[in-house]
């Protein structure tokens, strides 16, 4: 039996499809949105549509941006000779919060997972190899400490060793099975400072 009108039930159902939003959270969000001033609701809806239509991948590092190059890649204050490889844009943001890394990034937009049918050609490895033809001193592999993240790190290590570029992996301190976006800045900073050669 539906407790709410069809419109409210549909809004709750749509919000419930968002990651991390359960039924109770969806209900709470739905009633919050319904009680917001109409102009704020329109602004929220317009912002969502604009983000969906205008956000694309950075032509250099493959993170999400609304211009050809993201602010990090377009900055001349960053060390473009040091590239940190991460799985997604949330991981990039997690490292940026430490305020201590001054290099640039490469976002794979995923990790190798044979069980899910995701191979090396399904993530942004080709774009990384193109970047490495330039002047690069070090590649820091900062994939998550999951089975998929470790498999990706080992694949990258074997792929990059012959290039002669220094390849390092972030140190432990990041818990196994953990995602970088949920880890505090101090732990991330320690993992970065204690990275090791692969």
**What's the domain count of the chain?**
2
- Token duo for residue 67: 């211009």
Instruction: Answer yes or no: do 16 and 103 share one domain.
Output: no
CATH of the domain at 141: 3.40.1360.10
Structural domain harbouring 34: 6-54
Instruction: Answer yes or no: do 47 and 14 share one domain.
Output: yes
Reported confidence tier of residue 17, pLDDT bands at 50, 70, 90: very high
- Residues of the chain with pLDDT > 70, as a percent, come to 95
Q: Higher model confidence: residue 196 or residue 54?
A: 54
Query: What is the per-residue pLDDT across 119-145, written as a single tens digit (0 to 9) for each?
Result: 999 999 999 999 999 899 999 999 988
Q: Confirm whether 98 is domain-assigned.
A: yes
- Token duo for residue 62: 């493959």
Q: Confirm whether 86 is domain-assigned.
A: yes
pLDDT over 90 at 15, yes or no = yes
Instruction: Answer yes or no: do 114 and 191 share one domain.
Output: yes
* Mean pLDDT, residues 72-82 taken together: 95
Smallest CA-to-CA distance from 142 within 98, 22, 162 is with 98
φ, ψ of residue 85 to 5 degrees: the values are: -95, 120
Report angle CA 7, 9, 13 to the nearest 5 degrees.
Answer: 115
Lowest mean pLDDT among 43-52, 104-113, 125-134, 182-191: 182-191
Q: Confirm whether 59 is domain-assigned.
A: no
Q: Confirm whether 1 is domain-assigned.
A: no
**Predicted TM-score of the model (pTM):** 0.78
Are 40 and 28 within 8 A, CB to CB?
Answer: no
Other CB atoms within a 10 A radius of the CB of residue 130 amount to 10
pLDDT over 70 at 169, yes or no = yes
CATH of the domain at 33: 1.10.8.420
Smallest CA-to-CA distance from 140 within 120, 170, 160 is with 170
Contacts of 35 (CB under 8 A, 6+ apart): none
* Mean pLDDT, residues 105-115 taken together: 93
* Mean pLDDT, residues 101-121 taken together: 93
Q: Confirm whether 60 is domain-assigned.
A: no
Query: What is the per-residue pLDDT across 56-67, written as a single tens digit (0 to 9) for each?
Result: 999 999 999 999
Average pLDDT over the chain, rounded to an integer: 90
* Mean pLDDT, residues 113-124 taken together: 91
Instruction: Answer yes or no: do 82 and 126 share one domain.
Output: yes
Confidence at residue 1, expressed as pLDDT on a 0 to 100 scale: 43
Q: Confirm whether 65 is domain-assigned.
A: no
Confidence at residue 4, expressed as pLDDT on a 0 to 100 scale: 77
Q: Confirm whether 163 is domain-assigned.
A: yes
pLDDT over 60 at 8, yes or no = yes
Instruction: Answer yes or no: do 142 and 46 share one domain.
Output: no
Instruction: Answer yes or no: do 94 and 160 share one domain.
Output: yes
* Mean pLDDT, residues 147-175 taken together: 87
Instruction: Answer yes or no: do 79 and 164 share one domain.
Output: yes
Instruction: Answer yes or no: do 152 and 182 share one domain.
Output: yes
Instruction: Answer yes or no: do 116 and 160 share one domain.
Output: yes
Q: Beta strand pairing status for 166-169 and 196-197?
A: antiparallel
pLDDT over 70 at 42, yes or no = yes
Query: What is the per-residue pLDDT across 172-190, written as a single tens digit (0 to 9) for each?
Result: 666 667 777 777 776 777 6
């Amino acid at each position: 039996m539906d407790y709410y009108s069809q419109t409210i039930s549909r809004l709750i159902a749509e919000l419930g499809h968002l990651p991390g939003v359960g039924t109770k959270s969806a209900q709470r969000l739905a009633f919050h949105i319904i009680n917001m001033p109409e102009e704020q609701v329109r602004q929220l809806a317009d912002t969502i549509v604009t983000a969906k239509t205008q956000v694309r991948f950075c032509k250099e590092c493959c993170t999400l941006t609304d211009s050809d190059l993201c602010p990090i890649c377009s900055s001349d204050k960053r060390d473009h000779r040091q590239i940190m490889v991460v799985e997604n844009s949330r991981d990039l943001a997690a490292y940026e919060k430490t305020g201590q890394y001054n290099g640039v990034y490469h976002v794979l937009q995923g990790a190798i997972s044979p069980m899910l049918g995701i191979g090396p050609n399904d993530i942004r490895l080709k774009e990384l190899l193109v970047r490495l033809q330039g002047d690069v001193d070090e590649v820091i592999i900062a994939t998550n400490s999951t089975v998929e993240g470790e498999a990706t790190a080992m694949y990258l290590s074997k792929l990059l060793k012959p290039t002669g570029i220094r390849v390092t992996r972030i140190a432990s301190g990041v818990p196994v099975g953990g995602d970088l976006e949920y880890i505090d800045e101090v732990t991330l900073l320690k993992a970065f400072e204690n990275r090791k050669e692969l």
